[in-house]
Structure 1
Amino acid sequence: MTHVTTHVLDAATGEPARGIGVVLAAASGDSVVAETAGAIIAHGVTDADGRLAIGPDALEPGDYTLTFLTGEYFAARGAPTFYPYVIVTFIVEAETEGSSRHCHVPLLLSPFAYSTYRGS
């Protein structure tokens, strides 16, 4: 299983948000990935169900970002939006044996609001 997954739902339409570009990158901060802050690790596009598995099978513990290209998504639908990008910063924690656990980062999206949480 890919280490990071996401699921984007368009709250305005009640449909999965298909075709949203997503970029996984290292973030700055007090982490082992700080020296590579901003480095793009992977990118992809949500599928017909609004889902995307992104990145390698494992990530080093540290801070990462998922950038959702929401402006492009809404522009393609002729809808104005306040958020051209949604950037979610999250922590990949080390497990007791030193590996890191799977991260699921869902996004509930509308043109003028969004919500996210740590999924399972």
Structure 2
Amino acid sequence: MITLSSHVLDTTKGTPAANMALCLTTPDGKQITASTDNDGRCKNWGDIEFTPGIYCIRFEAGEYLKAEHGKSFYPFVDIHFEMQEDGGHYHVPLLVSPFGYSSYRGS
């Protein structure tokens, strides 16, 4: 079974990025919209059954950063990643500030 979660942290404030809009694109092009909860986490992707393939999460960072900091260099951040049959749980965190971001495969 393949599962997916994400977590967004605002590195300028040192707090979770609550209510950031996300859009997951599946290998077959289906798009699922979601948003982070009050702890900056997202694991609710509807009733999707994940299959192996290349996915993308679009983090609508610009809207969030402008609301929180008044500016943002990045209108959005796209993170493409590949899920494999035996990959188990995938966690895709985003560390973001108005002028920088980073990500990694979490646990």
Relative to the length of structure 2, the TM-score reads 0.89
Amino acid paired to 1:59: F
CA-based RMSD of the aligned residues comes to 1.9
Query: Which residue of the other structure, out of 57, 62, 71, is the alignment partner of 2:53?
Result: 62
Q: CA deviation at 1:83?
A: 0.6
Deviation at 1:57, TM superposition (A): 5.8
Aligned length in residues = 106
2:92 is aligned to: 105
CA contact (8 A) 2:56 2:79 kept: yes
Q: Which runs of 5+ in 1 are unaligned?
A: 27-32
Q: Which runs of 5+ in 2 are unaligned?
A: none
Partner of 2:43: 53
**2: distance between equivalents of 1:74 and 1:57?**
29
Instruction: Answer whether contact 2:20 2:61 (CA < 8 A) is retained.
Output: yes
1:71 equivalent in alignment to 2:79: no
Letter in 1 for 2:12: A
Q: Does structure 2 conserve the Cα–Cα contact (< 8 Å) formed by 1:106 and 1:119?
A: yes
Q: CA deviation at 1:75?
A: 2.2
Instruction: Report the identity percentage.
Output: 39
Give the whole-Å Cα distance in 2 for the aligned partners of 1:78 and 1:110: 9
